Amino acid sequence: MILRIAFRNLLYKPLYTILCWLLLTCSTTVLLLLITLSRQAGEQLERQIDGVDMVLGAKGSPLQLILSSIYHLDAPTGNISLAEAQPWMQHPLVASSIPLSLGDSYKGHRIIGTTTAYLDKLRLKPATGNTFHHSMEAVIGADVAEHTRLTVGSRFAGTHGLGESGHVHEEHAYIVTGILPRTGLPVDQLILTPLESVWDIHETAQRQITAVLLRFKSPLAQLQFPRMINEQTNMQAAVPAIEVNRLQSLLGTGTEVLRVLGWLLAALAACSIFVMLVQGTYERRYELALIRSLGGGRSRLLGLVLAEAAILGLSGVLSGFLLSRLCGWLLQQQILTRYHLHFSGMWRLSGAEALAASLILCACLLAALLPAIRAFRLNISKTLANA
Amino acid sequence: MLHTNNLAYTYPGGELLRFPDMECAGSQTLLITGASGTGKTTLLHLVAGLLRPSHGTIRVAETALHSLRTAAMDTFRGQHIGIVYQQPHFIASLSIQENLLLTGRLVKKAVSLERLYDMAARLGIRDLLHKKPAQLSLGEQQRAAIARALMPSPQLLLADEPTASLDDQNCAAVAGLLAEQAREQHAALLIVTHDNRLKQLFAHHIALS
């Protein structure tokens, strides 16, 4: 009965109720979305550097080198000569090395000259067709196949540069030999081809590559290699783990601002609930006294006020949860695919999210505590006599 | 049904108010009259268990009301005492029907819908049950308040100035209704009022001074 009255009271003052509910929904959405996004982005960033201990490339920004060679986001820092990189690739402390050559694209999808070691590292085999063996053969990612409608046996010509427009290497056509299964990783957006294709198209005197992804046999190399390369050669060594940390701390500042904003909204929601209930219990003091005069105990009045806050809090947190998932899904559709981020486990509620949600609920109940105690201690005789 | 002895109440300011002893059996009506400021409402609140006396005893339906704890007092009031206030007030967000059923639900006393419809029909508010209190006229609200007080079959029915805002015709009607309903349910009826019109209608009165 008390729950029913609480519910009816909320509906009886719809404007106040909607204001509180909106504030709660917004704050929950911002906080949950933020927690999910930063967790998922962190997981994604770390999943992709898995198995890469060091990246060898041209001098420049180490972050740019990592972004271009692992995440396929930024422009490459430049090229290095294969001859210069080879001693490091074949070093006894190196477990595996994957050379990459970037520079061309097809309809916005990057064409990566590499070896089959790239697919081995991801433990990938084409879902249809075969892997590449010869120059000008290409294996395409699942998104590329969907977007460009290329199939096994199709021919296409690459565009110079990473943009949509540029010189088209029409005299050299690639042939698709295989299509990769969908992975949720950047490789879905890539076209992979042997290094020789890139060299055949660009016909330079010296064989050049853009970067090498290295995995070491021992942690000793992890300590020695970067310093040796950066000091003794005119190449650059970047450690993905360090750069990812740097990137996350750069993003962290922005996240922090949004997080503060989210909690401010939650505080505002709690304040509005407080004001609504203080005013409500004052305006309805006769009703509260009436409930007691009709046989409801003092604890019923306490429960009534707390129930109103709890109903608001629960519905706000629930709709905030749903909205945060909807926003996450929309972001996924609109923006994140461009950055090769793929979110999974949308409906899972993580520990941090559950904590934020329950903190918001606690804030609602805390805001209701003072009005609830006031209702509990209401002087019914005086209230009824003065009505 | 109602029996008070040596009743007195001390106001927070320290002023002491003594009340004459009262007795009212089932189906009987007792009128308490007096000018304003003579403690009529205080007496009603004492008998309803809304206030605690500083001296004396109140027995309602063989229960020593003055010795009950707050929670037990609230429950006892809901089960055995029906109160009609001067201004009919309701839970604004609930329909009249839900307001009438409220007491039964609060004290977990089963009330049949049949009884509700019967009571509403007798008080002429059968068609208003689905409406919100604010949609009713004052006279309709007054009748709904009487119905609410009678719903849980109380043994003591209290009325605080039930006719103050009514014209002569409605005054007689409401007073008659209260007395008739109380008689039918074998409840004791206690009316506190300064309305002289009621003195002609009821035989037993006690005047406060």
- My answer on whether A264 and A371 are in the same domain is yes
Q: A381–B94: do the CB atoms touch at under 8 Å?
A: no
- My answer on whether A200 and A349 are in the same domain is no
Q: Quote the percentage of chain A above a pLDDT of 90.
A: 49
A315 band by pLDDT with thresholds 50, 70 and 90? very high
Cβ neighbours of B89 in A, within 8 Å: 286-287, 290, 387
ipTM here: 0.91
Cβ neighbours of A11 in B, within 8 Å: 93
Q: How many CA atoms lie within 13 A of A166 on its CB side?
A: 15
Measured in residues, chain B has a length of 209
Q: In angstroms, what CA-CA distances link B67 with B16, B53, B72, B93?
A: 20, 10, 10, 35
Q: Measured between CA atoms, how close is B106 to chain A, in angstroms? A: 5
Question: What's the pLDDT score for residue A42?
Answer: 81
- My answer on whether A179 and A121 are in the same domain is yes
- Boundary (domain end) residue, out of A238, A254, A270: A238
Question: What's the pLDDT score for residue B74?
Answer: 92
B124 band by pLDDT with thresholds 50, 70 and 90? confident
A337 band by pLDDT with thresholds 50, 70 and 90? low
Q: Which residue has the higher pLDDT, A185 or B48?
A: B48
Nearest residue, CB atoms, B93 vs list A8, A290, A297: A8
Chain B interface disruption, residue of A7, A284, A378, A384, most B CBs within 10 A: A384
Average pLDDT over every residue of A282-307: 92
Average pLDDT over every residue of B148-165: 88
- My answer on whether A105 and A251 are in the same domain is no
For A:281-300, CB contacts with B below 8 A are 284, 286-287, 290-300
Q: How far apart are CA B48 and CA A49, in angstroms?
A: 77
- Boundary (domain end) residue, out of A207, A238, A269: A238
Question: What's the pLDDT score for residue A347?
Answer: 75
Q: Which residue has the higher pLDDT, A161 or A139?
A: A139
Question: What's the pLDDT score for residue A277?
Answer: 92
- Boundary (domain end) residue, out of A177, A211, A238: A238
Q: Measured between CA atoms, how close is A12 to chain B, in angstroms? A: 6
Q: B94–A1: do the CB atoms touch at under 8 Å?
A: no
Mean pLDDT rounded to a whole number for chain B: 89
- My answer on whether A261 and A216 are in the same domain is no
Tens-place pLDDT, residues A196-232: 888 888 777 788 899 999 999 888 888 888 888 889 8
Q: Quick check: helix, strand or coil at residue B183?
A: helix
* Confidence check: pLDDT of B138 > 70: yes
The pTM is what?
A: 0.79
The DSSP result for A231-272, as a single string, is HHSSEEEE-HHHHHHHHHHHHHHHHHHHHHHHHHHHHHHHHH
A144, A224 in Cβ contact below 8 A? no
Q: Which range marks the domain in which residue A333 is found?
A: 2-46+246-385
Q: A287–B89: do the CB atoms touch at under 8 Å?
A: yes
* Confidence check: pLDDT of A289 > 90: yes
* Confidence check: pLDDT of B92 > 80: yes
A190, A72 in Cβ contact below 8 A? yes
Query: Of the candidates A96, A90, A91, A137, which has an alpha carbon nearest to the alpha carbon of residue A113?
Result: A137
Q: B85–A384: do the CB atoms touch at under 8 Å?
A: yes
Q: Measured between CA atoms, how close is A366 to chain B, in angstroms? A: 25
How many domains does the structure of chain A reveal? 2
Cβ neighbours of B74 in A, within 8 Å: 292, 295-298
Average pLDDT over every residue of A298-312: 94
- My answer on whether A42 and A60 are in the same domain is no
Nearest residue, CB atoms, A290 vs list B70, B89, B93: B89
- My answer on whether A299 and A273 are in the same domain is yes
Question: What's the pLDDT score for residue B192?
Answer: 92
- My answer on whether A85 and A176 are in the same domain is yes
Question: What's the pLDDT score for residue B87?
Answer: 84
